[in-house]
Amino acid sequence: MPLNKQLYTFSYVCVTSGAAALVFSSIYLLVDMRGWKSMFLPFQRMGMNAMLVYVMAAEGIFAGFINGWYYNDPHNTLIYWIQKHVFIGVWNSQRVGILLYVIFAEIPF
């Protein structure tokens, strides 16, 4: 990837601002118009403690918390459950499930 490439082109700005507007309007519709506040309560709590969430994410406390707890077996963690039931279970294919897990869980975080 070249270092002098202009990332923020007009089309990039339009696509990302449109996506943000869609997400914002859908959350507004669900929370304020339909009254589904309990579904988004964790996000409200994280917004109230934004500095704490930022520090915990920067120090790797979230990763240690999620990967550090298991039930009856060291392979029975929250990450293993998400990989098995969400990524592999939904697509009924271990190859596609592992690929989606790597794309959506390992690379961004």
Does position 1 have pLDDT exceeding 50, yes or no? no
Task: With a cut of 60, say whether residue 108 has pLDDT above it.
Answer: no
> Is there a single domain that holds both residue 43 and residue 72?
no
Average pLDDT over residues 6-24: 86
- Domain contains 81: yes
Asked, for residue 109, whether it belongs to a domain, the answer is yes
In angstroms, rounded to a whole number, what is the distance separating the alpha carbons of residues 70 and 65? 10
Task: Identify whether residues 65 and 108 lie together within a single domain.
Answer: yes
Are 68 and 101 in a shared domain? yes
Asked if 43 and 66 sit in the same domain, the reply is no
pLDDT (tens digit, 9 = 90+) per residue, 31-75?
A: 999 988 888 888 888 888 888 888 877 777 776 776 666 667 767
How many separate domains does the chain show?
2
Tokens 């339009």 belong to residue: 14
71 and 108 housed in the same domain? yes
Phi/psi for 7 (5° steps) reads -80, -40
Is 86 within the bounds of a domain? yes
Print the domain residue range for 88: 59-109
Asked, for residue 1, whether it belongs to a domain, the answer is no
Q: In angstroms, what CA-CA distances link 39 with 45, 49, 66? A: 12, 18, 21
